[in-house]
Amino acid sequence: MTPPSLAARIAFAALVFTMTIPCQAEEVRPHLTVGTQEISLSAGYLLPHRLTTEHTTKQSGPALMPSWAMVLTDPIGKSFYRGQLLLGAEIVYIQFQEPFLTHGVGFTPKIKYMFEGTGRLRPYIEFAGGPFYTDLGGRIPEESSRFNFILTAGGGLSWFFTSQFSFNVGYRFHHISNAGTRMPNLGLNSSLPFGGFSFYF
């Protein structure tokens, strides 16, 4: 039997940890004021998308994403889309296990919009992009450069166990390419389901 990946172990540990936190009797409604900071740790598993017949590489593996963000606004908007804007940055580490074992690491500024939701449950969407280094470059037909850029877009749900602590699950679409600085530059596309937790202070 194949041992569980690092991402699976981290996600399981986070789930066990959150289950040990006693739920408060009163309803939890997190109040994130302007200047509130968020420290997060998320982990997931990369799943490949070969969008054309020229995309032949099946890249997959665990990913780890520690991040920081700050609340920039009071609640804005009306109705279901009322929420708050956060701006931050994230480190992205990916261990590619296919087509061979290798690594990638990047740094991405990110923007996040967290909806008010209902009580403990708050949906969000997020976008990020920045430089990404991987030695896949020159070893697969889709990438000719080790220096690339990674773009991500996705969303998720935050469940607040307390007003300062939440468990998060979500999905991201990943695109990695060198922005045309070298050819070929077909790029790599993948999905990343993930789980993690956040602390607000």
Q: What is the mean pLDDT of the chain?
A: 85
Residue 52, Cα to own-chain centre: how many angstroms?
A: 25
* Phi and psi torsions of 127, nearest 5°: -135, 140
Check pLDDT > 80 for residue 53: no
Residue 16 confidence class, pLDDT cut points 50, 70, 90: low
Domain ranges (residues) in the chain: 6-20+28-200
DSSP string of 107-160? EEEEEEEEE--BTTEEEEEEEEEEEEEETTTTTBTTB--SEEEEEEEEEEEEEE
Whose tokens are 């690339």? That residue is 148
Residue 17 confidence class, pLDDT cut points 50, 70, 90: low
Residue 99 has a pLDDT of: 74
Check pLDDT > 60 for residue 10: no
Rounded percentage of the chain residues whose pLDDT exceeds 90:
55
The CA distance from 72 to 41, in Å, is 20
Rounded percentage of the chain residues whose pLDDT exceeds 70:
84
pTM listed for this prediction: 0.82
The CA distance from 127 to 89, in Å, is 11
Mean of pLDDT values over 136-161: 88
Residue 111 has a pLDDT of: 98
Check pLDDT > 50 for residue 76: yes
Residue 58 has a pLDDT of: 73
Residue 25 has a pLDDT of: 42
Architecture per CATH, 6-20+28-200 = Beta Barrel (2.40)
Check pLDDT > 50 for residue 24: no
Residue 183 confidence class, pLDDT cut points 50, 70, 90: confident
- Whether 7 and 43 have beta carbons less than 8 Å apart is answered as yes
Check pLDDT > 50 for residue 182: yes
Check pLDDT > 80 for residue 157: yes
Mean of pLDDT values over 124-133: 97
Residue 138 has a pLDDT of: 75
Question: Which residue, 198, 201, 199, 195, is CA-closest to 42?
Answer: 195
